[in-house]
Chain A
Amino acid sequence: FVLTQPHSVSESPGKTVTLSCTGSSGNIASNYVQWYQQRPGSAPTLIIFEDNQRPSGVPDRISGSIDSSSNSASLIISGLRTEDEADYYCQSYDAAKQVVFGGGTKLTVL
């Protein structure tokens, strides 16, 4: 089971960006998808869990969704800020309960 993310995405401040995460097989909706943000030089932090839930402290301009028809998950960030510039990783697990990460997307805000 592989999760595929675009290598890089660029968008302007104030705009909305959607980061995709596509599952290689099965139904991505079978197991929860999480999203992590990693700024340069820092550890990852959880920003979306269980497909679309936000931990406390994560602003509501960040949201997650699942699309079973395309077997993909999406991270949507609206009102982009320069502080959103980071690497973003999706994560789930397969039928054998092996944890899987996507390859990560580098988001540039310029």
Chain B
Amino acid sequence: QVHLMESGGGVVQPGRSLRLSCAASGFSFDSHGMHWVRQPPGRGLEWLALISYEGSKTSYADSVMGRFIISRDNFKNTLYLQMNSLETDDTATYYCARDPSWSTLAYYFDSWGQGTLVTVSS
């Protein structure tokens, strides 16, 4: 049973940093690409970033390029999102999601965590 659990959300002031974690279990974490997706309150889904199964390839949405960094630790079965220079528009629920393809990328999501809420406010 695939299980993804995000943590690290909370209230943070504009301009500050926050790191989210996503603990994975129930599957071979080191064989799957992973993604971060967010959803502002009452709004739609926005893809943020992806990382390949071994971490060599990353890609970002224009809205977070240069501010957010995706990374992974395959020994700890954990995905990360380092968020810097946070803005009020970054307020959202942040989801980690698994790419279904083995050792490549299919660019969609077959399993999602329950999300962690990040609120950027002074």
Contact = CB atoms under 8 A, between A and B. Distances in A.
A100 B25 CA distance: 27
B107 A97 contact: yes
Interface residues of B, number: 21
Contacts, number: 57
A99 B51 CA distance: 13
A49 B112 contact: no
A44 B45 contact: yes
B59 A44 contact: no
Interface residues of A, number: 24
Contacts of A89: 44-45
B78 interface: no
Interface of A is mostly: strand
A101 B47 contact: yes
B47 A103 contact: no
A34 interface: yes
Interface in B71-122: 95, 100, 105-115
A52 B113 CA distance: 24
B108 A100 contact: no
Nearest to A5: B44
Interface in A60-110: 89, 91-93, 97-104
Contacts of A43: 95, 112-115
- Select the residue from B95, B108, B115 with max chain A CB neighbours within 10 A: B108
A49 B46 CA distance: 18
Interface of B: 35, 44-47, 50, 59, 61, 95, 100, 105-115
